[in-house]
Each structure stands twice: as structure tokens, then as C-alpha cells.
Amino acid sequence: MKIAIFHCAFIYTGGGERIVLGQYDQLTSAGHIVEIWTPVLDREKCYPDIIGQYPIKTFLPQLPSWLPFRHAFTLVLTCLLAPLFAKKFSRVDVIIGENQPGVWLAYCVSKILRKPYLVYLCHPNKMVYPRPLLDRRQLWQAVKDFYLLSWFVSWSRPLVGYLDKISVRGGRKVLVNGYYIGHEIEKVYGVAWEGCPCGVSFNHLSAKDMLMEDSIDNRLIGAVSLNGLFIKKPFLLFTGRHEVWKRIDLAIRAFSLVSECYPNLHLVIPGPFTRCTLQLQELVRKLDLVDRVLFLGSIEQSSLAKLYREAAVYVFPSTLEDFGISVLEAMAFGAPVVAWRIGGPLDTIIDGQTGYLAQPYHLEEFADKIVSLISDRDKLSLFSQRAYQHVAENFSWSNHMVVLEKALREISL
């Protein structure tokens, strides 16, 4: 089968991008011919150490990097010209539209060529249905092009919202990355959906290769050196983008409570620096944790795997997460997770077995859950094994492919 995947953008390192790359790997391994298309591509910012392995194509030539808001202009222009791209896909059997405007582009091409398309969503269109409790500047602080786009959408929302809905509803099938977000998709779009959570593979490691036999000793004893920093174990880990809605500030505040009992513990936060990073560093100074909270900056995927494998506990403080692929990655490497009892973690964490879920915003409870793990070696070992097994059994790419290939076959008949 010849398949074209249309994805919204490859301009930062995120979970949606990771899913598309994983699907490409799995579909090509299964013998399908797959093309990935996107309106905008920045190989220096989106998984820079692995993105070169993927033949990603853009609908339009990319504007020079010195041009302000180049991605925003290209995204809008691509959406406006969508019908003109149909000829490129005359030999494609089926299209997968992944997140907006990938779904809109699939809709337009499908209408002209009368070819079926599948919708795959990680969340509703965030331009039309932004995350609650955040203004536009907070939501898109780290991606200025999306900030400009959100302003454009704000005054054209009735039209954009209409086009968003008809393109999602026009798909032959709608697959979603998790059951929590599936119910949100149903509320917003009024469509039937099928759960198709992503699998976990990391730098071409399968889940069975991720957990080390000496996992617990490896998490509690020794040190790790990355980006010029010498990090003594044990340490806590968070790996998401530095954005306001990720609520890294809550992880830091909870860590300050834990550090009262464990003064030698560290909190490690890799990732490219943003304006949010500066705000977090100021909070760290106020809490007198400068030597204990370590911001690593950008790291390669191999270094990220090392952190997952050697962290004592993974902390996930976001209260607005639709899924949270980093939670699966952490557990696949045997790191138990402490998160809030809300959103995506409800799909991925078994409370009291693979990690803990605390009441949202209850910092003392969040801190207590961390302490209960790092203070009990046997419990940490048990949770580590269960976390790994849970991901290996329930979030494998083979499970994902069973659902995805079945859907592709059905809509292509």
C-alpha cells in the first residue's frame, strides 16, 4: 500500500512528531511505501540528531531562516493552496492526516482525487480550542510562529472552526492517541473514534531492550556526566519542553519539599532553553535550589535514553496534558512516574503499581509519593519492573500497528 502521511509541522521536538516517525518506521518495515509531508520543517529544532534519517517532504519551498514568522506564513499559504497539491498524490492509495492542518490538507486532496483519508489526532485543534486557563502568549510562548497563527485564528475562528470540523468529520475513520483524549475529541467533533495509542521505541531500541538487569542499583548509586555537569544519583527527571503549561514550576516546588528529607537529591531538566526556562531558573534561586535543580540544555536522544535509564523517579507535573509520551518513555526504561490524577496520565499510569497519581496541585501529596519510592528500594524495584512490563504489554508498536493497518485496509476497500 502506498501511504502519504500529512503532519502539521516538524519545527520542535514533540510527541506528535515522535509518533509520525514511529509510524513511518513501522509501516515501511511492514512493506508499505510511505511518504511524510508537512507544511514546515526545521531539521535543527525537531529531533536534530535523528530527523535526517527520514525523507520528509514539504508542500512548498521553505523560507529563509532569517525571515521572521516564516513558519507561520508558510503554514497559512500551504492551507490556502491545499487543493493545488492534489496532483502530487495521484498514485497514493490512502492518506493519513495527523493533527491540524494535516487533516485539512488530507481533506482537500481527498475531495479532489476521491481518495480515502484517515484522521489521527493527539488532541483537538489547539488554535481553535486552546488549553484552558492560559492566554495566547503563555500558550505559545516558546513557538512564536504559533503565537502569530493563534492571533490570526482568533479573529477568523468561526471559519477556521468550521473547516476544522468538516475536515475531521470527513475522514473515513478517526484514530486517537489515547482514551482520555478520545472522549475530548468526541465532545468537540461529535465523531466516533478508536483508540490507537502510540508505541514506544527509542533511538531504535525496542521496549524489551530498555530495562537493565541492574536497574535499581543503577538508579541509586554512582553518578552520570552530561553537558559538562556531574550529576550524583539518585535524581528525579523531567524531559518535556520548557513551556508554561507543562507546569515545571510545580515539579520544582514539590522537589523543594522532598529535598528537606533528601538534601543530596537532584532534579534534572534537559531541553532547549526558552523564556520559560528563565522564569524557572528564577524560581530555583528563590527556593535556594541552584545546586540541586540542573538545567542541561539540548541533549541528544542517546543522552536522553541514558537519563531515563538512570533516573530514580520520573516526575510529570503538567495538569493539561492530553497524553504525555514522555511518561511512556520513562516507564519503558523502568522509571516509575509520579503525576497528577488528571488528563493523559490516567491512560498510561497504573496508580500504586507503575507509579503514583496525586490530587492535582496538592504539592505535599506529590512530594510524599516521590519520597515513598526513593525511600524504599524494594518498592522502587517492584514499580520499575511493573512500569516496564506495562509499557511492553500495552503500548507496543505492534499493538499500534494492528489497529492502524486494520483501519487503513478498511478505508481503502
Helix (H), strand (E), coil (C) string for 123-152: CCCCCCCCCCCCCHHHHCCCCHHHHHHHHH
* CA–CA distance, 168 with 104 (Å, rounded to integer): 8
Residue 385 and residue 404 in one domain:
no
Residue 295 and residue 169 in one domain:
no
Count of domains for the chain: 2
Give residue 326's pLDDT: 94
* CA–CA distance, 336 with 383 (Å, rounded to integer): 6
Q: Please tell me the pTM assigned to this model.
A: 0.91
Residue 269 and residue 212 in one domain:
yes
**Which cell numbers in the block locate residue 31?**
512493506
* CA–CA distance, 160 with 128 (Å, rounded to integer): 7
The CATH number of the domain holding residue 9 is 3.40.50.2000
Q: Which residues of 172-191 are buried (b: 16+ CB within 10 A; e: fewer)?
A: bbbbbbbebbbebbeebbeb
Residue 57 and residue 193 in one domain:
yes
Residue 237 and residue 309 in one domain:
yes
Please, are residues 166 and 127 in contact by the beta-carbon 8 Å criterion? no
Taking the CA atoms of residue 105, residue 106, residue 112 and residue 115 in that order, the dihedral angle to the nearest 10 degrees is: 170
CB proximity list for 263: less than 8 A, separation 6 or greater: none
Residue 263 and residue 352 in one domain:
yes
Domain residues for the domain of 278 are 207-394
Residue 121 and residue 60 in one domain:
yes
Residue 230 and residue 354 in one domain:
yes
User: What's the CA angle centered on 21, arms 17 and 25, to 5 degrees?
Assistant: 165
Please, are residues 206 and 195 in contact by the beta-carbon 8 Å criterion? no
| Pairing mode of beta strands 223-226, 229-232 | antiparallel
- Other CB atoms closer than 10 Å to residue 213's CB: what's the count? 7
Walking along the chain (413 residues) 10 residues at a time, the average pLDDT comes out as 97 92 96 98 93 96 93 95 97 97 98 97 91 62 75 87 97 96 96 95 53 72 87 95 93 97 95 93 97 94 91 96 93 96 96 97 98 96 94 92 97 89
Give residue 289's pLDDT: 97
Give residue 153's pLDDT: 82
Candidates 42, 43, 82; CA nearest to 59 is 82
Residue 195 and residue 256 in one domain:
no
Size of the chain in residues:
413
Question: Residue 111 belongs to what H/E stretch?
Answer: helix 102-113
* CA–CA distance, 343 with 348 (Å, rounded to integer): 10
* CA–CA distance, 89 with 368 (Å, rounded to integer): 54
Residue 257 and residue 351 in one domain:
yes
Q: How many CA atoms lie within 13 A of 14 on its CB side?
A: 19
Single-letter amino acid, residue 56: I
In degrees rounded to 5, what are phi and psi of residue 317? -90, 0
Give residue 204's pLDDT: 47
Residue 256 and residue 297 in one domain:
yes
Residue 15 and residue 107 in one domain:
yes
